[in-house]
Amino acid sequence: MEVTSGSFSMVAEEDSEDLRKDGAEEILERITDLVNKTLAEDGSYNILLSKEAILSAIDTGKSEGGPSGRHWVLDPIDGTKGFVRGGQYAIALALLDEGRVVLGVLGCPNLPFTSVSNLSGSSSGDQTGALFSAAIGCGAEVQSLDGSPPQKISVCTIDNPANASFFESYEGAHSMRDFTGSVAEKLGVQAPPVRIDSQAKYGALARGDGAIYWRFPHEGYRETIWDHAAGSIVVTEAGGVVKDASGNDLDFSKGRYLDRDTGIIATNKQLMPSVLKSVQEAIKEKKQASSPL
């Protein structure tokens, strides 16, 4: 509704297929009532949506993206298991312009506003909820969900891996922990990993809560653009760098999936060379160990 000129394109994780199946009438009715109640309470739009309008809105996200034009990229609940568990999750929205991420917003309702300070991704402070935003060339900001003034953020300046801490996925299925443990050992990282769900890790890294975020899924997993578009620009605009395991920038112009080498690494500019070196050494050793004699 806000985009009044030109065509509207969105790449999103969800579609309405399950809600169109037999037996889904009750849940669709509940969703429609909840959406209309939320719209009425918010007051920004004076509209009432039908069930079909809800289904059509969900299916707006079927675009394939690509290198041409503008495409919004949405993950409405990034970190679904964290959401269900009462842990970390994020609402992640980004804008692609000619295949390049130019805008990113991360809403992290359960993330401590000040700092993540322990293994569960929580802190001793009471205030939770953080909204991160970044636009190309304008830096990155965070504000609380109650509408506090935005504050500029920047990645940490640690240059010694021994003093660095790192984020990785909470779910073991999302990361090869033996491999990341080997990389951490090569780097000389002393701190244990901080494991939290979703792109909240990108936000926490961008404001300096930790020094490194890496993601090395199991073989055969394909990374989607909605899992990284918003988070990556928040980190890069906060002065960080995001690369694949070969040291290449992430390429968001290839459609719904990232065309990238094994693994994704986000850190500051001082640490990236040593992190890449350790990752590439670990990959080489892993290949040698798995190849027949």
Residue numbering of the annotated binding site: 13, 75, 77-78, 227
Q: Which of 90, 62, 59, 60 is nearest to 76 (CA)?
A: 90
**Cβ within 8 Å of residue 33, ≥6 positions away:** none
Q: Annotated binding residues for Mg(2+), as ranges?
A: 13, 75, 77-78, 227
List the structure tokens of 278: 């350790």
Distances in Å between the alpha carbon of 267 and those of 77, 85, 213, 273, 292?
24, 28, 6, 10, 35
- Order of strands, sheet of 151-153, starting from the edge strand that comes earlier in the sequence: 10-12, 70-78, 90-97, 100-112, 128-135, 140-144, 151-153
Question: Checking DSSP bridges between strand 140-144 and strand 10-12, what pairing results, if any?
Answer: unpaired
Q: How many whole angstroms separate alpha carbon 6 and alpha carbon 15?
A: 23
| Secondary structure E strands in 201-278 | 212-215, 240-244, 264-268
Residue owning tokens 């909240």: 200
Beta carbons of 50 and 160 less than 8 angstroms apart: no
